[in-house]
């Protein structure tokens, strides 16, 4: 009897130990895999890195998703991309410490740094650059049957100019200004890219300013439903615009984009990545290296334009983060 009881106690204790051991091998995020990640794909013990992009109908959002995956694979961070109101909102969020990395237009980053326009009395002084990425084309979109052939033809029309304080909004104001117009001369609508193209399709608006890398997803969707027109900017107006606002450059929407029959002249600013200045130098070095040495993993067409050799072009007076500066210095790349 004593031996039988001893055996039962031993078996009970062994079962208890096995249960405790099994529980100990599982965390709240799921069981650990051999590469250190858990069942959700996140690396155990890694810090989360938030990347602010733009609206889901623009270029920032899919690019940010690709970059988040690259950073998660190549560094010790678990990165995630979040949709946002794009450049101006992103700069404000970084200032407030609400995110780590963000996409921005170069002109908006300059306004934030200098406390100008939408950042008047709200200067952003804790954001630094990682690098520029690709041209962001100012696209003035309408339908072929709208009767709108020039910027001047927008007078009296219902036109989406982006959210107040957004990069698109500033671009629209400046381009209209060069043509002797203002928001008072149009029926200005503050719409996102998706809302803009939906409005053009439904006929509730006549045209939209969209500043994004081409092809832009929302405009591609519209071109599948409607025959669209991209409004050109005349050479003399492009020259005047660049003279007054030197962060613009001449650009072209190529023939075949959105099924358009010929090249269309316009202007562009540059997309860039910015980061909170407080982020650790080694961390930003590794993030910068991961992105610029794995651009082949970026699925969006703009990935082909993202190159370390061009990452300091158009960066203006926005200071580089020391981590990014170290990476580019090692590559022999200077501003």
Q: Provide the 8-state DSSP code for 262.
A: S
> Alpha carbon of 225 to those of 201, 219, 258: distances in Å?
8, 10, 11
Helices (H), the chain: 2-24, 60-74, 87-95, 106-114, 167-178, 193-202, 217-223, 235-244, 281-292, 322-330
Assigned token pair, 247: 């962060």
pLDDT of residue 167: 84
Collapsing DSSP states into helix, strand and coil, what is residue 141? Answer: strand
Q: Hey, do 47-133+271-330 and 136-269 end up sharing a CATH topology, with the first three levels equal?
A: yes
Give the E-state strand segments of 96-227 in sequence order.
101-105, 127-143, 158-160, 187-189, 207-212
Q: Is the Cβ–Cβ distance between 152 and 74 less than 8 Å? A: no
Q: Is the Cβ–Cβ distance between 88 and 165 less than 8 Å? A: yes
Q: Note the Cα 331 to chain centre separation in Å.
A: 25
Collapsing DSSP states into helix, strand and coil, what is residue 199? Answer: helix
Backbone angles phi, psi at 129, to 5 degrees: -90, 145
- Annotation: CATH topology of 136-269: D-Maltodextrin-Binding Protein; domain 2 (3.40.190)
Backbone angles phi, psi at 85, to 5 degrees: -85, 10
Reported residue count of the chain is 335
pLDDT of residue 77: 96
Q: Is the Cβ–Cβ distance between 112 and 91 less than 8 Å? A: yes
pTM, 2 dp: 0.73
Residue 268 and residue 193: Cα distance in Å, rounded?
A: 17
The secondary structure of 278-323 as a DSSP string is TS-HHHHHHHHHHHHT-GGG--SGGGGG--GGGTTTT-TTPPBPHH
- Which of 218, 156, 164 minimizes the C-alpha distance to 190? 164
Q: So what CATH class is 47-133+271-330?
A: alpha beta
Q: Is the Cβ–Cβ distance between 171 and 211 less than 8 Å? A: yes
Residue ranges, the chain, pLDDT below 70 = 1-45
Assigned token pair, 94: 């970084």
Which residues lie closer than 8 Å to 90 by C-beta, 6 or more apart?
52, 54, 84, 99, 102, 103, 104, 274
Phi-psi region of 91 (alpha: psi -120 to 50; beta: other; left: phi over 0): alpha
Backbone angles phi, psi at 213, to 5 degrees: -65, 145
Q: Is the Cβ–Cβ distance between 200 and 219 less than 8 Å? A: no
Q: Where are the domains of the chain?
A: 47-133+271-330, 136-269
């Amino acid at each position: 009897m004593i031996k039988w009881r001893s055996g039962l106690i031993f078996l009970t204790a062994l079962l208890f130990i096995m249960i405790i051991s099994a529980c100990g091998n599982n965390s709240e995020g799921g069981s650990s895999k051999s590469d250190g990640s858990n069942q959700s794909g996140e690396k155990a013990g890694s810090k989360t890195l938030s990347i602010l992009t733009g609206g889901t109908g623009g270029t920032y959002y899919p690019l940010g998703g690709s970059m988040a995956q690259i950073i998660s694979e190549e560094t010790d961070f678990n990165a995630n991309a979040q949709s946002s109101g794009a450049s101006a909102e992103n700069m404000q969020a970084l200032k407030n410490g609400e995110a780590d990395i963000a996409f921005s237009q170069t002109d908006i980053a300059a306004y934030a740094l200098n406390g100008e326009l939408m950042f008047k009395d709200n200067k952003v002084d804790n954001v630094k650059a990682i690098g520029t990425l690709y041209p962001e084309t100012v696209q003035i979109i309408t339908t072929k049957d709208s009767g709108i052939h020039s910027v001047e033809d927008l007078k009296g029309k219902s036109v989406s100019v982006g959210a107040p304080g957004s990069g698109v909004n500033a671009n629209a104001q400046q381009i209209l200004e060069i043509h002797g117009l203002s928001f008072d001369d149009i029926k200005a609508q503050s719409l996102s890219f998706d809302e803009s193209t939906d409005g053009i399709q439904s006929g509730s608006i006549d045209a939209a300013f969209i500043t994004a890398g081409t092809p832009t997803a929302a405009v591609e969707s519209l071109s599948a439903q409607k025959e669209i027109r991209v409004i050109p900017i005349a050479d003399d107006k492009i020259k005047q615009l660049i003279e007054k606002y030197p962060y613009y450059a001449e650009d072209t929407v190529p023939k075949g984009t959105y099924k358009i029959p010929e090249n269309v002249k316009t202007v562009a600013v540059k997309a860039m990545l910015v980061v909170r200045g407080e982020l650790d130098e080694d961390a930003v070095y590794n993030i910068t290296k991961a992105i610029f040495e794995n651009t082949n993993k970026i699925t969006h067409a703009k990935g082909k334009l993202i190159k370390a050799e061009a990452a300091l072009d158009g960066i203006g007076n926005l200071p580089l983060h020391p981590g990014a500066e170290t990476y580019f210095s090692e590559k022999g790349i200077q501003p």
